[in-house]
Structures are given as structure tokens and as C-alpha cells.
Amino acid sequence: MNYQQFYKKSVDNPQEFWGEEARRIHWHAPYTRVLDDSNTPFNKWFVGGQTNLCYNAVDRWVESQGDSPALIAVSTETAADGLPVEKIYSFRELQAEVERAAAMMQALGVVRGDRVLVYMPMIAEATFAMLACARIGAVHSVVFGGFAANSLATRIDDAKPKLIVSADAGSRAGRPVPYKPLLDEAIRLATHKPEHVLLVNRQLVPMQLTPGRDVDYGTLREQHINARVPVTWLESNDISYILYTSGTTGKPKGVQRDVGGYAVALASSMQHVYCGKPGETFFATSDIGWVVGHSYIVYGPLIAGMATIMYEGLPIRPDAGIWWNLVEKYRVTRMFSAPTAIRVLRKQPPEFMRQYDLSSLQALYLAGEPLDETTSAWIAGELGVPVIDNYWQTETGWPILSVAKGIEDTPTRLGSPGLPMPGFKVKIVNELNGQACGANEKGVVAIEAPLPPGCMQTVFGDDKRFVDTYWSNFSNEQLYSTFDWGIRDSDGYYFILGRTDDVINVAGHRLGTREIEESISSHPNVSEVAVVGVEDKLKGQVAVAFVIPKDAAAMETTESRRLMEMEVMGVVDRQLGAVARPSRVHLVSLLPKTRSGKLLRRAVQAICEGRDAGDLTTIEDPASLAQIREAVAKG
Ligand code: PRX
């Protein structure tokens, strides 16, 4: 079968296609229907089937390859010299740790359907916690460790977890980053209170346990050292997890995923896109707090019977060879990273990667942000393997566009993430009426219902928001909006041209400008604020803030300006986390708005990027633009 036939079958006959793909995973009880699309967009995959993500990722492999590596946890953060500290868990050992964690959760009152929030650094216990939830049918919600108290509090209030699993600290460039004080502050801010907090004590910083609420992971683990916790068989459409992601409003959306459809989609993509085989090693350099970490650090590789590397540390510490050292050492066959990381490495002397034997590596996959041609060509030249761009979203859970090298050796095209992956009926449509665009015509990337297995079921707790956000942008209610601009060339290759909404992408991290604005607004001397994403050579985009102070005295001297700018950055650091901190804060006395009061965000962005500000006939006061220009020119 070639790609065209493969893809055609997936969209023409989804029942048959996905019925065959479903054989890649273990079903405890068979499903009665592959797809129930009677209530679009709330489609159900593998209705009535019983399965379990943890079983497919762990137990299933214990018999055939119980002693082979499953989880390779590497940290270059915890040894003083920055050298890697490595621990390998075989499938059997992973199973034992997951059963312990599951027993611990049960001892703390967690039952099927309960939410468990995981706020963890990149340590093995984070994976144990996720898999333990999956094992007992609890719903995990992993929150990126780089997020701070307010971000965490919003998620606690939305997910209402019974339990939070966390640690004393993460670490960055060898310096501990305390988690516990942020977590305590988040719980104080949140209306919902978890019953318990389970804390891994890495002994990186001193930690105070709150009596009655906080429990030490190590101590409780000892009590459950021989625990056997049977798998809870779940219906395919039960909830596996919630993962919050940013959108147009200030309130993050809880992307909710199922069990069976997700397992099948991952197994299928591991075969056709990532081409991994049992016994090989997969290395995704993302973080478990993002969707790539869920799909391709934890679940995907393990479901495919591969070992997965979980890496805590920077790509350039102790030196820029560290990733390639791991590739050599663990004979990594497939690697997954983000363009920003490769741009960081490109600034380093190439000797660092050239000193390692990279002959095991067969392909490098890059996703999360646009892949520029220079970066792509450079790394392909250095590695001598195909570099495969893949485009997807937290919402879809696995690639929408890529090339299916497992099916056919389809050529890649520089600057393009490729062709639709199975089941994704991708269209480029007019932003206003949803009509299909012609070849090479810019429009919104949309996907026709039904979305394939593995995609989000709904927004957690808010079906209406799911429909209103994703399925109501065009008159055709069968069209899902990705909120990305794109074009398709005459050969069917797609090109992604940035977001249509207020989402920005900083170093592959998806952030909402509205969330940053809301945070900045909480500063007592901020009257108005606009945050825009501005093109950046290294990070793809950075956030830039324009602030109108209430008290104009803040604008008077260089010193008072600097102080105010630092304070604004400090607010974002404390509330959302350094990941969301604007790279620049400019003080102005006016923001460009339309006469009806709508902020001309695109005009601000254009000025920051040195482009023409576009049609400004509706602007209320042109002096506002002059101020933005002046502020940007000053740098
Ligand atoms: O704008 C697109 C961009 O990242 C967004 C999704 O981010 P997130 O939900 O964090 O999921 C990342 C999963 C890899 C998209 O809407 N994006 C993602 N991949 C690409 C991309 N933009 C261009 N090229 C890509 N390959």
C-alpha cells in the first residue's frame, strides 16, 4: 500500500481502517462499534470496548521483554558537575513502581474517575504517577513544572483533584527551583482543596509538610513495596486525562481525552509515523507537562514496546553533546525534539555532536512550532538522517500532518510538515465562510468531522465551550478549526503560517497572550496592557508587553521605568511562571484601539516585527501607534 491508498482508506472507510489499527493494542473486551458519530462532534471510538493505557504500556510487555529497559531516567541536574545521573527501569521494574504508586493513591482515597494533579519535574516518579492513574482509572492532569501559583490554582479549581502529586523541587542549570512553596500558595489561592498532597523528597531544598494533608512519597512507598494492584478495565470512552492548554480567553481549556481511541492512535502513529519497534529506544526531549510528553515520552513509546528516555536538564549542559551522548549510549533509533532546541544547538560548536556514534539514529522528528529551512537543513546535514517536521496540537494528541515513513518513503519538503495523517480530513478554508481555498491560497487549517481516534473528546466539564470554541467558526458545524493559518500547494503539501488567535508559541511552548495580560493587570499600577507575540530568531516568538501605568510618574525617569518593567515581569514570574515572562515591557500612555474600543493587536505586532501596520482606518488615535513605534525603536 502506498501513502495515497493508505490515507484514502482511512477517510473513506474509517470503520474498517481503525478497526484494523485497533488490533495493535490489547482489548480486555471487544468493542461493539468502531465509531459512533451520531452526536458529532462528540464522537465515540471503539464503543463498549474495554482496555487500559497502563496495561498496554507496561503489563503487556512484561511477559515478552520484562527485563528490557522501559524507562531510562536521566538527569544532568542533580550531580554537582552536571554529569548525567541515570536510572534504568525494566518493564518489570516499571510495573512494580507503578503498582506501588497505584496502591499509594488508593491508600489516599483515590478511586476510578477521581482527578489527580501531577505537578512534577522530569523525574521517574512523574511517569509512575501518570501510569498509576491510568492503571486504576483515575484521571491525571499534569501541569507543567514551569508554571507558577496562579496558573496552578486555576487548574486546581477546574480539575478539582482529590490528590496532587509533586516534589520538593525541580532544577534548572544545576540550581534547585522549589516547587513546594508555589504549590502551597496555589492551594491557598484555589477554592477547591485537595485531600492530600503526595511529595517526592529529592532533598534539593528543605520542605515543610502540612500535617494531615501532605504525605511523603518515599515513606508511603515503603508501606506498599510489595503491592499488586490489578488493572482496572475501562470503557474506551472513559476519560484518561485532562491537559490544560491556552486559547483565546484568559482561562485555559482542559483538553479531555479518552482511553481506547488514544491508545489506538498512539500505537498507530508509533508504527506509521515514528516507525518504532519493540526493544528499540525512543528519545523525546519535551516535558511531561506538554502534550508531546504525554504522547511520546510516556504512552506512545511504551505502548510500542520501546524504551523511552526521560531527560531532566538542558541540551547544552554539561556541554552541547549531552543528547548525542544519550543517543549513542542507549542506541536511540528515533528522536523527537523542537526546532528551538535545534537552533540552540546550532549556535554551539558542531564538535560536540560529532564526537558521538550516532549510527543507531534513523530519524529526527521536530514539532511544536514552525521549522525553518536553515535549521532543518543544518541538523539533517549533521545527523545524516531524515528530519521530519510534524504538525499537531494538544487537542489532537498526535500528528495531523507529517509523512508516514512507515507506509511509504514519501519525500519531505522543506518548510512543510507534509501531508495529512490517517483520518485527518484537512482542509484550507476561508476564515469567514468556511469555503475551501484553492491551491496556494491562504486560509484557516480546518479538519472535517469526525476527527480520528485520540483527539480531544471535549473541554473538561464544558461541552458547550468545546462546541463554541472549535466547531462554530464556520457556517459548517462539521468543521473543526485548528486556529492556524495555512496553505496547501498543488502537490498537496501543507505549510503552516502561524495562529489566527491570540495564542503565541515561545520556544515551542504554547501560551495565551490574554493570560499574560490578565496577570500583568493585577499589578496595582497597571491601568491597561497589551501583550503580543513577536518573531524571534531563536525562540520562534517572544511575548512583548505594552503597559499603561495608572500613575504616570512611573514613566518619568529611566530608573522609574526600569523599576516598573521589572515589577511587571516579576508579577508574571510569580503568577504564571518564568515561561510566560515577556521579553520586553514597554510603558506607554496610549494603546491603539478602534473607535469601539477594540485593541488593534495585529497592528502592534506588525510594528514590533517591523512590518506595515495594515489598514488603520478604524483607529481612534493615531498618536498611540507613534508611541508604540517609538517604544520599539528604543528597544
Ligand atoms: O500553531 C501550531 C503550532 O503549535 C500549535 C499547537 O501547540 P500545542 O498544543 O502545544 O501542541 C504541540 C504538539 C506538537 C499549533 O496549533 N505547531 C505545532 N506543530 C507545528 C506548529 N506550527 C508549525 N509547524 C509545526 N510542525
The enclosing domain of 49 has a CATH number of 3.40.50.12780
Buried b (16+ CB within 10 A) or exposed e, 370-408: bbbeebbebbbebbebebbbbbbbbbbbbbbbbbbbbbe
Spatial distance between the Cα atoms of 357 and 438, rounded to a whole number of angstroms: 46
Give the DSSP H/E element, type plus range, for residue 85: strand 85-90
In one letter, which amino acid is 412? T
In this structure, the residues whose C-beta lies within 6 A of any atom of ligand 1 are 245, 290-292, 367-371, 389-394, 417, 482, 484, 496, 499, 505, 510
Residue 405 clears pLDDT 80, i.e. is over it: yes
Does residue 378 form part of some domain?
no
Q: Whose CA is nearest to atom 15 of ligand 1?
A: 393
Give the number of the atom of ligand 1 that is nearest the alpha carbon of residue 509. 10
- 28 and 130 belong to one structural domain: yes
CA–centroid distance, 368 to ligand 1, in Å, is: 4
Q: What is the DSSP letter of 391?
A: B
Strands (E), 174-239: 175-178, 196-200, 214-216, 234-235
Cβ atoms of residues 179 and 198 within 8 Å: no
CA–centroid distance, 259 to ligand 1, in Å, is: 23
Give the number of the atom of ligand 1 that is nearest the alpha carbon of residue 503. 1
- 517 and 406 belong to one structural domain: no
- 42 and 142 belong to one structural domain: yes
Give the number of the atom of ligand 1 that is nearest the alpha carbon of residue 389. 26
Cβ atoms of residues 534 and 541 within 8 Å: yes
CA–centroid distance, 41 to ligand 1, in Å, is: 22
Spatial distance between the Cα atoms of 2 and 48, rounded to a whole number of angstroms: 32
Does residue 132 form part of some domain?
yes
Q: Whose CA is nearest to atom 10 of ligand 1?
A: 510
- 125 and 218 belong to one structural domain: yes
Spatial distance between the Cα atoms of 153 and 266, rounded to a whole number of angstroms: 30
Residue pLDDT, tens place only, 146-188: 999 999 999 999 999 999 999 999 999 999 999 999 999 999 9
Residue pLDDT, tens place only, 406-437: 999 999 999 999 999 999 999 999 998 899 99
Phi, psi of 234 (to 5 degrees): -110, 155
Spatial distance between the Cα atoms of 423 and 400, rounded to a whole number of angstroms: 9
Q: Pocket of ligand 1, candidates 273, 493, 505, 506: which has the most ligand atoms within 8 Å of its Cβ, to mutate?
A: 505
- 464 and 514 belong to one structural domain: no
What is the chain's mean pLDDT, rounded?
Answer: 96
Residue pLDDT, tens place only, 475-491: 888 999 999 999 999 99
Helices (H), 408-557: 463-470, 513-521
Spatial distance between the Cα atoms of 249 and 246, rounded to a whole number of angstroms: 8
Q: At what angle do helices 149-159 and 180-189 cross, to 10 degrees?
A: 50
- 404 and 266 belong to one structural domain: yes
CA–centroid distance, 367 to ligand 1, in Å, is: 6
Cβ atoms of residues 42 and 458 within 8 Å: yes
Residue 476: predicted pLDDT: 87
- 550 and 418 belong to one structural domain: no
pLDDT-derived band at 612 (thresholds 50, 70, 90) equals: confident
Spatial distance between the Cα atoms of 356 and 349, rounded to a whole number of angstroms: 14
- Environment class of 188 (CB within 10 Å of its CB; exposed 0-12, middle 13-18, buried 19+): exposed
Q: Mean pLDDT across the stretch 605-610?
A: 94
- Give the CA distances from residue 446 to residues 76, 342, 466, 605, in Å, rounded to whole numbers and listed in that order: 41, 29, 15, 24
- 523 and 414 belong to one structural domain: no
Does residue 372 form part of some domain?
no
Phi, psi of 466 (to 5 degrees): -60, -50
Domain count for the chain? 2
Residue 401 clears pLDDT 80, i.e. is over it: yes
Closest CA to 172 of 194, 147, 146, 133: 146
Give how far the C-alpha of residue 326 lies from the chain's centroid of Cα atoms, to the nearest Å.
Answer: 23
Cβ atoms of residues 317 and 76 within 8 Å: yes
Q: Mean pLDDT across the stretch 395-411?
A: 97
Does residue 36 form part of some domain?
yes
Quote the Cα angle for 619-622-628, to 5°: 105
Give the DSSP H/E element, type plus range, for residue 192: none
C-alpha grid cell, residue 622: 493615531
Q: Which of 417, 449, 469 is the last residue of a domain?
A: 469
Residue 615 clears pLDDT 80, i.e. is over it: no
CATH number of the domain that residue 602 is part of:
3.30.300.30
Spatial distance between the Cα atoms of 487 and 443, rounded to a whole number of angstroms: 6
C-beta atoms surrounding 431 within 10 Å: 15
CA–centroid distance, 534 to ligand 1, in Å, is: 16
Which residue in the block uniquely carries the three cell numbers 549510527?
359
Give the number of the atom of ligand 1 that is nearest the alpha carbon of residue 417. 26
What are 585's strand-pairing partners?
545
Which residue in the block uniquely carries the three cell numbers 480546518?
446
Residue 114 clears pLDDT 80, i.e. is over it: yes
Give the number of the atom of ligand 1 that is nearest the alpha carbon of residue 371. 24
**Helix-strand-coil split of the chain, %, nearest 5:** 35, 25, 40
Task: Look at 315-329, 365-379, 490-504, 609-623 and tell me which has the smallest mean pLDDT.
Answer: 609-623
pLDDT-derived band at 529 (thresholds 50, 70, 90) equals: very high
pLDDT-derived band at 204 (thresholds 50, 70, 90) equals: very high
Residues ≥6 apart with Cβ < 8 Å to 235: 48, 49, 50, 259, 260
Per DSSP, the residues of 593-618 read BBTTS-B-HHHHHHHHTT------TT
* Side-chain-side CA neighbours of residue 221 (13 Å): 15
Q: Which domain holds residue 533?
A: 507-634
Residues ≥6 apart with Cβ < 8 Å to 270: 276, 300, 301, 303, 304, 306
Does residue 367 form part of some domain?
no
Residue 157: predicted pLDDT: 98
CA–centroid distance, 220 to ligand 1, in Å, is: 39
Cβ atoms of residues 127 and 298 within 8 Å: yes
| Length, in residues, of the chain | 635
Region at 517 (left for phi over 0; alpha for psi -120 to 50; beta for the rest): alpha
pLDDT-derived band at 613 (thresholds 50, 70, 90) equals: confident
Does residue 32 form part of some domain?
yes
What are 530's strand-pairing partners?
546
Give the number of the atom of ligand 1 that is nearest the alpha carbon of residue 338. 14
- 462 and 514 belong to one structural domain: no
Give me the numbers of helices (H) and strands (E) for the chain, helices first please: 21, 32
pTM (two decimals): 0.97
pLDDT-derived band at 634 (thresholds 50, 70, 90) equals: confident
Q: Express as a percent the part of the chain with pLDDT over 70.
A: 100
* Side-chain-side CA neighbours of residue 340 (13 Å): 18
- 174 and 268 belong to one structural domain: yes
Q: Mean pLDDT across the stretch 248-262?
A: 93
Q: Which of 448, 469, 490 is the last residue of a domain?
A: 469
Residue 620 clears pLDDT 90, i.e. is over it: no
Q: Pocket of ligand 1, candidates 419, 499, 510: which has the most ligand atoms within 8 Å of its Cβ, to mutate?
A: 510
β-bridge pairing 33-36 and 443-448: unpaired
Residue 635 clears pLDDT 90, i.e. is over it: no
Spatial distance between the Cα atoms of 193 and 466, rounded to a whole number of angstroms: 26
Residue 340: predicted pLDDT: 96
Does residue 325 form part of some domain?
no
Residue 618: predicted pLDDT: 84
Task: Look at 21-25, 254-258, 626-630 and tell me which has the smallest mean pLDDT.
Answer: 626-630
What is the three-class DSSP state of 353? helix
Residue 1: predicted pLDDT: 87
CA–centroid distance, 501 to ligand 1, in Å, is: 13
Closest CA to 465 of 261, 154, 153, 255: 255
Does residue 361 form part of some domain?
no
Q: What is the DSSP letter of 396?
A: T
Residue 248: predicted pLDDT: 80
Q: Which of 469, 490, 523 is the last residue of a domain?
A: 469
**What is the torsional sign of CA 115, 92, 30, 262?**
positive
- 97 and 165 belong to one structural domain: yes
- 420 and 519 belong to one structural domain: no
Give the max Cα distance, the chain: 72
In one letter, which amino acid is 535? E
Cβ atoms of residues 97 and 127 within 8 Å: no
CA–centroid distance, 391 to ligand 1, in Å, is: 6
Spatial distance between the Cα atoms of 533 and 575, rounded to a whole number of angstroms: 19
CA–centroid distance, 389 to ligand 1, in Å, is: 11
Residue 453: predicted pLDDT: 98
CA–centroid distance, 418 to ligand 1, in Å, is: 14
C-alpha grid cell, residue 226: 510489595
Residue 435: predicted pLDDT: 94
